[in-house]
Amino acid sequence: MTGEHMRIGEVAERTELSLRTIRHYEETGLVIPSARSRGGFRLYTEADVARLMVVRRMKPLGFTLEQMRELLAATDRLDADAGTLPAGERETLLARVRGYEREASAQVERLRVQLARAEEFAETLRGRLPEPEPRSEPEPRSKPESQPEPRSESEPPSEPQPGGPGSAPHPGPGNES
């Protein structure tokens, strides 16, 4: 695999999107893999990942798939033909992007208000609870006597004491009965 192409699993990991979501975005035409391997695997570029990140950022702001598609088409056209677009078309595309920016900013503000209310509610609930008791460390789980204590790699194995713990062989690596 060349450094310029990534398989869908790597893209999913980088974008924190599920494989299913990425495939759905392909089916709806939002993000099409740049290539396919000989085996038919989807191959993506950094530009594809950047496009998926735009979609990922639009989703929690409530944009529909159609709105995402429209915004991506406008930005694609602006990027591809930056110096050659007729002035009127360029202004139309920029107006579309400005509209989406205003919509995104308004939604961000609504989400800030919601978050502030949620934080106030959580604080109200905390206020109704008694003072938390100091946390004690959880007690270590006891080990069965038949298992020796773990030792460090640099520590030599101890010799078993006759009749003491560890003197009888026990099941374990190299001691299977």
**pLDDT at residue 127 in the model:** 94
pLDDT tens readout for residues 1-32:
445 899 999 999 999 999 999 999 999 999 99
What is the H or E stretch that residue 88 is in?
helix 87-128
pLDDT tens readout for residues 97-149:
999 999 999 999 999 999 999 999 999 999 999 987 777 777 666 655 555 55
Beta strands in the chain (DSSP E): 6-7, 35-36, 42-44
**pLDDT at residue 83 in the model:** 82
pLDDT tens readout for residues 146-171:
555 555 444 444 444 555 544 444 44
Handedness of CA 156, 162, 166, 169 (dihedral sign): positive
**pLDDT at residue 138 in the model:** 72
pLDDT tens readout for residues 36-93:
999 999 999 999 999 999 999 999 999 999 999 999 999 999 998 878 889 999 999 9
Delimiting residues of CATH 1.10.1660.10 domain(s) in the chain: 1-57
pTM of the predicted model, to two decimals? 0.64
> The domain 1-57: what is its CATH number?
1.10.1660.10
**pLDDT at residue 146 in the model:** 53
Q: What b-and-e string marks burial along 33-53, b requiring 16 or more CB atoms within 10 Å of the CB?
A: beeeeeeeebbbeeebeebbe
Helices 8-15 and 46-58: angle between axes, nearest 10 degrees:
40
